[in-house]
Copies of this chain bind each other. A is one copy, B any other.
Amino acid sequence: MKARTKTAFLFDMDGTLLDSVYEHVMAWGQALHENKIEVPVWKIHRRIGMSGGLFTAALTRELGHDIDEATKTKLRDRHAEIYNAISARIQPLPGAVKLLEHLSANDIPWAIATSSQMKTAAPVLAKFGVDPAKHVVVTRDMVRYAKPDPDLFLAAAEKLGVDIKEACVVGDAVWDMLASKRAHALGIGFLSGGYGEEELIRAGAYRVFEDPADMLTHIDEVGGRR
């Protein structure tokens, strides 16, 4: 009989630990509007958390005409600029700090895997007590492809030294769930990024919680034991 490996948790950041999805939506909306590209806001919302390259590719398809490379770069830079200007007021989601503390205190491996660049992620990681020098944090610049590709989560599991098939990917976006399926991990969805429960389940979530606080309350349901 083969013993079961201990579960590890691989967390998305925006919308999962940090209450930042809507700020990202508005920053993209403003950047697009300034560049005379009009996209309904809900369609931006539903694409947050996917790789920036895929985001603009999907946008191109939506608009039915190409966006040139210079404009794509301008959009990404302007989004980062607007987002960074308001990021000081962004708060961790309820229970984010306590959930990570609980896992650490119980020797349960965890990591953060985000589609953000390290330069965007680093200033906010401190808000929930995460130090990239001490904890495993995988960012966009460390892998070839971001979500919904599985690379970020595969790299996080490898850095933790755990088997991805025994890991749970925890995220608020459909893109996290699709990446978790492709990585052969289990997906846990959070409502805190503004997706509906069934959207997450249809994308592969095996369990859905409201936010980190709700997951901590129900941690025994998903293998969070010592």
Contact = CB atoms under 8 A, between A and B. Distances in A.
B199 A42 contact: no
Contacts of A194: 41-42, 45-46, 194
A26 interface: yes
Interface stretch (A3-11, A17-25, A103-111, A160-168): A17-25
Contact of A198 (B23, B33, B196): B196
Interface string A171-213: 0000000000000000000011111111100000000000100
A21 B41 contact: yes
A89 interface: yes
Copies, count: 2
A91 interface: yes
A219 to B, nearest CB: 19
A89 B33 contact: yes
7 contacts: A22-B41, A22-B45, A26-B26, A40-B192, A41-B194, A196-B196, A196-B199
Given A22-B42, A38-B91, 20 more contacts: A19-B41, A19-B42, A21-B42, A22-B26, A22-B45, A26-B26, A33-B89, A40-B93, A40-B94, A40-B211, A42-B192, A45-B194, A194-B194, A195-B196, A196-B196, A196-B197, A196-B198, A196-B199, A197-B198, A198-B198
Interface of A: 19, 21-23, 25-26, 29, 33, 38, 40-42, 45-46, 89, 91, 93-94, 191-199, 211
